[in-house]
Amino acid sequence: MEFPAILRDLAVVMAIATGVALLFSKLRLSVIPAFLVAGAIMGPTGAGLVAERGMVEALAEIGVALFLFTVGLEISVSSLGKMQRRVLWAGGAQVLVGFILSLSSTAIVLKVYADRMESDTSQGRISFGILLFQDMAAIPMMLLIPILHQWDTASASAVFLTLAKAAAGVTGLLLLARVLIPRLLKVVIRMNSREILAMTVLFVVIGTAYLSSRFGLSLGMGAFLAGMVISESEYVHEIAAQILPFRDVLNGVSYISVGMLLHLPFLFQNLTMVLVMVAAVALIKAVSAGWTIRALGYSWRVAVITGIGLVQIGEFSFLLLSQGYRESLVNSTQYQFLLAITILTMMATPFLMGAAPAIAKRWEKLVVRGREFPETDEEAAIRKVGLENHVIIAGYGMNGKNLARVLKATRLPYVVVDLNDVQVREGRAAGEPMFYGDVHRPEILERLGIGQARIMVLAISDPMATRRAVAIARRSNPGIFILVRTRLVADVDDLIALGANAVIPEEFETSVEIFARVLGEFHVPDHVSRSSSAGR
């Protein structure tokens, strides 16, 4: 293929990626499904705007590799040791679904949670842990694929030797995070040259990718490991600042290139079978993740929302699928079926995650019916004391703990409710009147004495649960004073309309703190600062 033709194909891909991103951003829709659809339409079996098959496959591998590098930047080696037992169980249950089907999309899931301001919620945290486990599980999967091709003829010693060689290579690459790479980057950073820094990072990416290929891994897996290596550096934020502005562009290119690999005539000819398989895969993954998360002590709401969020097949699955196709482990028909399922589950994920809270609410009404949070002996003892004219604190994070400390010091009655069982146990051990449960559940609020409470303070990270809790609390006790902490100023009017008496947005608090500090440096009197704050 001639070089001008390559430039033309790249220009077409970038132009369509830019146009689609602009259109869907205006419509406030996720751009990932749009990229996949655009890729399928413009590919060799669609409009043929990019007709060269080899060019398409090269774009797909390079795009996914560059994207996985940015994913690796956000996952440090040290974070692997912090994975809790519950994450290992939940992630392991997903991996048991199968090689390609088990891995979900880190990029899609975390982006949707970030866009919805739910990264710090229970479902956001457990999803991140499961996705981290799956990303690391992809490494031994990648190593096993060449062995599976010769499974019948390979001896046990040959299999063990291949795995040991690959494991040693991966371990050696990751050890660079502790030894060579930080020192190299430290020297480069001190030179204060953006060009040299960019070249060094590129060298690390290419070098790590090449070394990983020598141990049987793909280019994408090598780029992912390179990102993890650099993430251990204390200068990772400086490096990310130069690379991450291009992350969305790389994401768009990778998803478009994956979409271009889909054979549209095959999809239309087998549409019914593909849709049935998509539904089956989504159901199996949602159930396996949801039931495991529920068994670990999370509420049905968190289990349902998290399970729905993990129904898709992710980027690492595409790498495994491509390698399996090259190793003749799957034929062209199987490859197209799996590719179609991957693309369609990716496309459906943002919409399914948007509907997940409503699905969880319906599930609670039809199935749970008040049996989810049985009252414990500790909670019964607290309730028997007699809850009256007290404060209900929802959320035992930093704000909840500080408020509880102040109320205890002033001898004002209060109870605390949280959905994190670890925090509940810690609070009870510290002598706090702790309840476990979802604050937006009517039976939980009744157990907390909502009818006799004077104030309810909502300091939780889940926007949807906060809205429901405000509405239910207002209906249960029309005279209660409801104070809500939220992240965005834009949420204030909606929460007031639902029944909140006062809403404190973090954005406003931050801006007030900033100008108060600035005025303080100019020795402006406090009453002037307060009046300026009130004027806002």
pLDDT-derived band at 127 (thresholds 50, 70, 90) equals confident
Positive or negative: CA dihedral 493, 498, 501, 503: negative
pLDDT in tens, 453-497: 999 999 888 888 888 899 999 999 999 999 998 877 778 888 999
What pLDDT score was predicted for residue 437?
83
What pLDDT score was predicted for residue 50?
75
Q: What is the enclosing helix (H) or strand (E) of 254?
A: helix 247-260
Answer whether 458's CB lies under 8 Å from 394's CB: yes
Q: Fold for domain 377-535?
A: Rossmann fold (3.40.50)
* Burial (Cβ within 10 Å: 0-12, 13-18, ≥19) of residue 97: middle
pLDDT-derived band at 177 (thresholds 50, 70, 90) equals low
Phi, psi of 414 (to 5 degrees): -160, 160
pTM of the model: 0.74
Which range is least confidently modeled, 108-117, 229-238, 376-385?
376-385
In this prediction, residues 201-227 reach a mean pLDDT of 74
User: What would the two tokens of residue 469 be?
Assistant: 């809790």
pLDDT-derived band at 86 (thresholds 50, 70, 90) equals low
The Cα 225–Cα 240 span in angstroms is 15
The Cα 141–Cα 145 span in angstroms is 7
How many angstroms separate the first and last alpha carbons of the chain? 62
User: What would the two tokens of residue 270 be?
Assistant: 């087998």
Q: Which long-range CB contacts under 8 A does 164-167 form with residues at least 24 apart? A: 165/215, 165/216, 166/215, 166/216, 166/217, 167/140, 167/143
pLDDT-derived band at 24 (thresholds 50, 70, 90) equals confident
- With residues binned 3-state (H G I as helix, E B as strand, rest as coil), the percentages for the chain, rounded to 5, are 70, 5, 25
pLDDT in tens, 25-77: 777 667 777 788 888 888 788 777 776 666 666 666 666 677 777 777 766 65
User: What would the two tokens of residue 324 be?
Assistant: 């399996």
Q: Is the pLDDT of residue 146 over 60?
A: yes
Q: Is the pLDDT of residue 380 over 80?
A: no
What pLDDT score was predicted for residue 528?
53
Q: Is the pLDDT of residue 429 over 60?
A: yes
3-class SS of residue 232:
coil
Q: Which of 352, 332, 335, 221 is nearest to 285 (CA)?
A: 352
Give the chain's mean pLDDT: 78
pLDDT in tens, 304-316: 999 999 998 887 7
Q: Which architecture characterizes domain 3-365 according to CATH?
A: Up-down Bundle (1.20)
Residue with the two structure tokens 């797909």: 60
What pLDDT score was predicted for residue 94?
66
Domain locations in the chain as residue ranges: 3-365, 377-535
DSSP letters along 378-407, please?
HHHHHHHH---S-EEEE--SHHHHHHHHHH
